[in-house]
Structure 1
Amino acid sequence: MPIKWYGTSDNNNPTYKHFSRIVNFVLHAMAFSALNSGLWFWQQIRHPWPHLSWFSEFWLLVLFGHLALVISQRPVQTKDESESSV
């Protein structure tokens, strides 16, 4: 089931901004997995690339940094909001 946003697309809404950051992270992770696995597959078939492990590790580090950024910027939920969502 795809992720859907049912609210209004207001950039001033902190929940919408956080949702947008999550979607951007998911796209980043999908690009990492698709391109990285393709590069490793291509290396195994034809062309050895001695620095591919460095490239993959650096990109994985950037991906973890992106995840940390998304988690650190999540909106703070007040007590009233948490009680109304139950």
Structure 2
Amino acid sequence: MPPRWSRIPTRQDADFRKLDDRMNFAVHVAVFAAINSGMWFFHNFLNTDWQWLPVVTLSWLGLLLTHLLYIAVIADYSGTPPKSI
């Protein structure tokens, strides 16, 4: 069951931004796991010669770790809303 929010959700709300970023990261992890496990399964099952597969997996994993670094260390979830340019 999805989390219930006690007030109107907006990106200006720091708690909502933090929850939204974490849910987006969880979706990113799920898509990474589903697609990469499928590619590696067919790579092994069909005995293919996909030279690009490790590059794609490691590149995507790097992006995933960068995303984690952003939400865990860099993102500012203080009470002040972000300034739009």
Which aligned pairs between 1:75-86 and structure 2 lie closer than 5 A? 75-76=77-78
Match for residue 41 of structure 1? 41
Q: Runs of at least 4 residues of structure 1 off by over 4 A?
A: none
Instruction: Identify unmatched segments of 5+ residues in structure 2.
Output: 80-85
- Picking from 69, 72, 75, the partner of 1:73 is 75
What are the within-5 Å matches in structure 2 for residues 3-82 of structure 1?
3-7=2-6, 8-46=8-46, 47-71=48-72, 72-76=74-78
Query: How big is the shift at 1:74?
Result: 4.7
Q: Matched residue of 2:77: which SS?
A: coil
Higher relative contact order (CA 8 A, sep 6+): 2
Give deviations 1:15-72, integer Å, cap 9, x for gaps.
1011111000000000000000000000011132112111100100000000011112
Q: TM-score, normalised by structure 1?
A: 0.78
What CA distance in whole angstroms lies between the structure 2 residues aligned with 1:4 and 1:62? 27
- State the aligned residue count: 76
More helix by share: 1
Percentage of identical aligned residues = 22
- Letter paired with 2:37: S
Pairwise CA RMSD: 1.7
Structure 1 unaligned runs (5+)?
78-86
Deviates more, 1:40-49 or 1:57-66: 40-49
